[in-house]
């Protein structure tokens, strides 16, 4: 009997990505066909071998967010107009087409979009993979996801986008692989992206460089 496993995962101990499947018109369709899902899991592997973000509480939420960010960037990379991008993640995981998360509006799928709504463990409660999702890592990732969405969609006074997708990819990629460490949190990611921006855009005209740095800080 054919088995259905509605999930995908990076298994670090085995150095392996695993993709489940769901029934579509009487056949099984692998989640490996969904570029956002594939990219999400690949980035978990990259994180494990660079920043090594501990998979619990805030560093765990940051771990999940970096995978979400690159899942969205990679799945939309064939679309040059960011205004036309699809910000939904994991909509292929269910026949309903309802996404797991939405970077443009995390609250749509029950996530916080601001640090004031960060979900914390109760006093004395320890992170547990099943009981509280390792400290609500998939929930709280919405905060950093929304910050990334704001960066990707930042605009200049004339309405043009402040950054290209390549530039935003470089900001987050270098921060993840060269600056962040095992216990880094959201504020460390912000500081890292700001540092990368100062280096990456150092040769831009002053006005352009200033606009980009202001957008990153904001």
From CA 190, how far away is CA 193, in angstroms rounded?
5
Active-site residue (options: 40, 41, 64, 88): 41
**Annotated catalytic residue 149:** no
pLDDT at 180 over 70: yes
Other beta carbons within 10 Å of 175:
23
Tens-place pLDDT, residues 104-123: 999 999 999 999 999 999 99
Active-site residue (options: 58, 88, 138, 149): 138
Tokens of 10: 């990076």
Mean pLDDT of 172-190: 98
All residues at 6 or more sequence positions from 161 whose CB lies less than 8 Å from its CB, including other chains: 82, 153, 154, 155
Mean pLDDT of 34-62: 94
Tokens of 211: 């606009």
HSE, side-chain direction, 13 A CA sphere, residue 13: 0
pLDDT given at position 2: 57
Tokens of 49: 């071998």
Q: Give the lowest-confidence range in 1-5, 25-29, 53-57.
A: 1-5
From CA 1, how far away is CA 23, in angstroms rounded?
13
**Annotated catalytic residue 41:** yes
HSE, side-chain direction, 13 A CA sphere, residue 172: 29
Mean pLDDT of 191-210: 97
What does the DSSP 8-state code read for residue 77? T
């Amino acid at each position: 009997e054919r088995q259905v496993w509605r999930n995908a995962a990076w298994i670090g101990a085995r150095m392996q990505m695993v993709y489940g499947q769901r029934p579509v018109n009487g056949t099984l369709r692998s989640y490996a066909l969904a570029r956002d899902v594939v990219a999400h899991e690949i980035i978990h592997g990259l994180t494990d071998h660079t920043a090594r973000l501990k998979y619990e509480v805030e560093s765990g939420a940051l771990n999940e967010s970096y995978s979400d960010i690159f899942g969205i960037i990679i799945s939309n990379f064939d679309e040059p107009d960011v205004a036309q991008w699809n910000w939904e993640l994991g909509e292929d995981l269910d026949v309903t087409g309802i996404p797991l998360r939405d970077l443009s509006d995390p609250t749509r799928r029950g996530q916080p979009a601001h640090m004031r709504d960060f979900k914390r463990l109760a006093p004395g409660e320890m992170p547990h993979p099943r009981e509280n999702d390792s400290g609500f890592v998939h929930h709280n990732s919405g905060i950093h996801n929304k910050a990334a969405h704001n960066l990707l969609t930042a605009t200049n006074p004339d309405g043009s986008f402040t950054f290209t997708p390549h530039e935003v990819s470089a900001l987050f990629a270098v921060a993840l692989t060269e600056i962040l460490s095992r216990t880094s949190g959201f504020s460390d990611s912000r500081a890292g992206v700001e540092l990368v921006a100062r280096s990456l855009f150092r040769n831009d005209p002053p006005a352009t460089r200033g606009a980009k740095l202001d957008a990153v800080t904001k």
